[in-house]
Structure 1
Amino acid sequence: MTSADAGAGRGAHAVAPDGPRHTTVQVAAGGCGHGWTHPVAGRQVFDLHNTSGTPAEVRLTDPRTGAVYGEVEGLGPGTTRPLRATLGNGTYAFTCLPADADAVTGPTVRISGDNSVRSGPAAVPVTQQELIPPTLAYQQWIQTRTVELARRTDVLRAAVDRADLAAARAAWLPAHLVYERMGAAYGTFGDADAEINGTTAGLADGVRDPEFAGFHRVEYGLWHGESASSLRGPADRLAEAVHALRRSWPDQRMDPADIGLRAHEILENTVQFALTGRTDYGSGTDLATARANLDGTRALLGRLRPLLRTRTAGPAGIDTWMNRAQHTLDAFDHDGRWTPLARLTRAQREKVNADLGELVERLADVAALTDVRRTA
């Protein structure tokens, strides 16, 4: 019998066809982490088997610091799911968090004597309290943007009022881009978001629907030959919504638990909507929107960065990919006249999609690192 066969016979270890060592680990209030009796360094898989009668979260942690190397959520009773990790020298323990019961940390396991393997990334979970300062700082940044937004929107409305549609088209994009930089706050804006930046999605009559409002309603009219008189109402309605947002924002409160997720969602929405042309109503400025969304992501990350640095060297490659995406998008800005998506070559379109898509994947790590986790 080989050593691998011997381990399998004890029900603790086995070497699967895919290469990594597998260890079956028990998940239960009275047996969290039991089964990991022969720790080794290297890439490996823990087959977490829930022997209890309730769902549970399971984390592989450093018991000294609380840093998490991996986790499985929603492990149902009687089910088994894998947790993959690369472990070097150090101390480890499984923490089981059954639904409606206290957290239980299993026995500490030590790996030593193998300096050839470095442990995979781990991070100490953040608390709601730690997320409050960056959230407040970001809220203040948004407050400043609302003042700028109101000022630029007033310029747009004034141009429409005096029937200078060329000036209105020139004023539309600078005003719209201010709003597009504020993406992490959209959820807090409530109904104001639809009034300021709504689309025709879900509207029975499309661009003719009376509920179609905001920047995109004005955009449609400016680039589809509508008269100044027909645009005064939409421009007034837009400006009123913007000023109402500016007045109400100091009384709003963003949820600190959501702020890391928003850092990922801004550009996720960019890829889903702007880069597919779904939010273009005639101006051909979706690439400018993407660039503004990138600015908004930078603004939020800047406020989260001190918190991230205390837990990790930083999600790998984010700054590199942020700069790469910015360089790619800036190539389509010709003194404020942006290349429309439809005029990109296939190679250009593929590069834009690849750079923004990769950045979105990297930003998912920020959402994971700032996810407020249950601790007891």
Structure 2
Amino acid sequence: MSDNASPSVPSAGLLRLGIVLSALVMLVALGLFYLSLEQPATGEQGTRVTITATGCEPKALSVPAGKQRFVVINQSERAIEWEILDGVMVLEERENIAPQLQQAITATLAPGEYQMTCGLLSNPRGTLTVTPVQGADVAPAVSAKAFIGPLAEYRVYLTLQGRQLQAAVDDLQSAIAANDLPAAQESWREARLIDERIALAVGLFSDLDQRLNGRADYFAQREQDPDFAGFHRLAVGLFAQQSTAELLPVAQQLNADVRQLRARLNDDGVPAAQLTRGAARVLQAWHDYQQSQQRVSELELADLRGLQQGADKVVSLLAPLLQNQVQSVGALQQANLALADALQQASPDRAALLQRSQGLAQALAQVNEQLAPGY
């Protein structure tokens, strides 16, 4: 054979075999990638609780007091939320945990008996027992006395916002009763904006928050479920269906729930620990929900504006109090301004909104941890 002869060419059979093997390698790689997304990581540290279609497994948990990490695994076929409740008060939550995925949640808990929501709001609740730990108490970075002024001012803020919310809901009910769709839509937008401004306070009461702000996905029959009510049920009629038909009972229930909310806030107020924790929680919930969506709708964008305005109030109250005690207060103010700037754009960028909403949520959560390890 000549030294200049061309290299041998693989046969057609070998080429086909190579293509098949390459395809198999790619399929295996894709399968491993899919499993890494869908399957809970077995090495994840924390107390594990699995949510099924019918409830929590285990149904009862026990952990020591202090800072605890929970790994919530969703093995149902629906996106779910998980909450730690003290009576009707929400202490910690994570929303929109997708099917077959998991979320880690950190909570600092005092000794006591608590409840856990377990997927669909119709599912039976689980129990969480938090046992005492000797010598676990740590002095807060900011004294309780220092919170008196900010809490009093925030209580006035809630009172004023509550009055505005009641007036907007009254107008909404009247417009629906009169079958005035444009007026009803305008009143809904006004009422919803106020509801989101005080979302951290509304979110403290699980029963009212469920009726006022529960999304259809959290109910067994979704939009057709008889317990699906509140702002999201009204939005389906007013904006998706462009109709006020059959909405008057929903508006009347909303009105009654707002009156009850105002009474509870007047009696109980908001605990100091919940100012930053609650503001962080509702921002994180918005972020988590939007991650599962293709775009940010006009109504969801308005929701974020209300949440940022509510967070801005909290930041303005606590920044002077924290200036000398917490180094991250500057980061908190910067995160708040960054989200406000993103919302002021004529066409806000979805990626920027997701990044900055979570950035502000994380900054608020960090400040909350520094206020007092026991919060």
Q: Shorter-chain TM-score: which interval?
A: 0.5 to 0.7
How many corresponding residue pairs? Answer: 250
Equivalent residue in structure 2 for 1:321, among 312, 335, 338: 335
Deviates more, 1:213-222 or 1:246-255: 246-255
Aligned pairs (5 A) from 1:11-22? none
Relative distance call for 1:134 and 1:279 in structure 2 (3 A) is: farther
Equivalent residue in structure 2 for 1:266, among 275, 282, 285: 282
Aligned pairs (5 A) from 1:156-235? 156-225=172-241, 227-235=243-251
TM-score, length of structure 2 as denominator length: 0.58
Alpha-carbon displacement from aligned partner over 1:169-201 (angstroms, at most 9, x marks no partner): 222111101000002212433422222222224
**1:353 matched residue in structure 2:** 354
Q: Conserved in 2, the CA contact under 8 Å of 1:131 and 1:257?
A: no
Q: Conserved in 1, the CA contact under 8 Å of 2:315 and 2:333?
A: no
Q: Distance in 1 between matches of 2:334 and 2:273?
A: 26
Give the helix-richer structure, 1 or 2. 2
**1:303 matched residue in structure 2:** 317
**1:238 matched residue in structure 2:** 254
**2:152 matched residue in structure 1:** 136
3-state secondary structure, aligned to 2:329: coil
More relative contact order, 1 or 2 (CA 8 Å, 6+ apart): 2
Q: Conserved in 2, the CA contact under 8 Å of 1:271 and 1:356?
A: yes
Q: Distance in 1 between matches of 2:374 and 2:159?
A: 29
Shift of 1:257: 3.0
3-state secondary structure, aligned to 1:311: coil
Relative distance call for 1:179 and 1:277 in structure 2 (3 A) is: farther
3-state secondary structure, aligned to 1:196: helix
Where do 5+ consecutive residues of structure 1 fail to align?
Answer: 1-54, 58-72, 75-97, 105-122, 333-338
Q: Distance in 2 between matches of 1:152 and 1:249?
A: 18
Does residue 1:249 correspond to 2:250, yes or no? Answer: no
Alpha-carbon displacement from aligned partner over 1:19-55 (angstroms, at most 9, x marks no partner): xxxxxxxxxxxxxxxxxxxxxxxxxxxxxxxxxxxx9
- % identical aligned pairs: 27
Shift of 1:314: 4.6
Shift of 1:227: 4.3
Q: Conserved in 2, the CA contact under 8 Å of 1:177 and 1:289?
A: yes
3-state secondary structure, aligned to 1:228: coil
Q: Distance in 1 between matches of 2:198 and 2:254?
A: 16
Relative distance call for 1:164 and 1:126 in structure 2 (3 A) is: same
Amino acid across the alignment from 2:280: H
3-state secondary structure, aligned to 1:163: coil
Q: Distance in 2 between matches of 1:56 and 1:223?
A: 46
Relative distance call for 1:279 and 1:218 in structure 2 (3 A) is: farther
Q: Distance in 2 between matches of 1:133 and 1:247?
A: 21
**1:100 matched residue in structure 2:** 134
Shift of 1:320: 2.6
Q: Distance in 2 between matches of 1:371 and 1:103?
A: 10
Amino acid across the alignment from 1:233: P
Q: CA RMSD in A?
A: 3.4
TM-score, length of structure 1 as denominator length: 0.58
Q: Distance in 1 between matches of 2:219 and 2:291?
A: 22
Shift of 1:255: 2.4
Shift of 1:365: 2.3
Q: Conserved in 2, the CA contact under 8 Å of 1:275 and 1:290?
A: no
Q: Conserved in 1, the CA contact under 8 Å of 2:276 and 2:364?
A: no
Q: Distance in 2 between matches of 1:136 and 1:304?
A: 12
Shift of 1:274: 4.7
Relative distance call for 1:329 and 1:56 in structure 2 (3 A) is: closer
Where do 5+ consecutive residues of structure 2 fail to align?
Answer: 1-63, 67-107, 110-131
Q: Distance in 2 between matches of 1:249 and 1:257?
A: 15
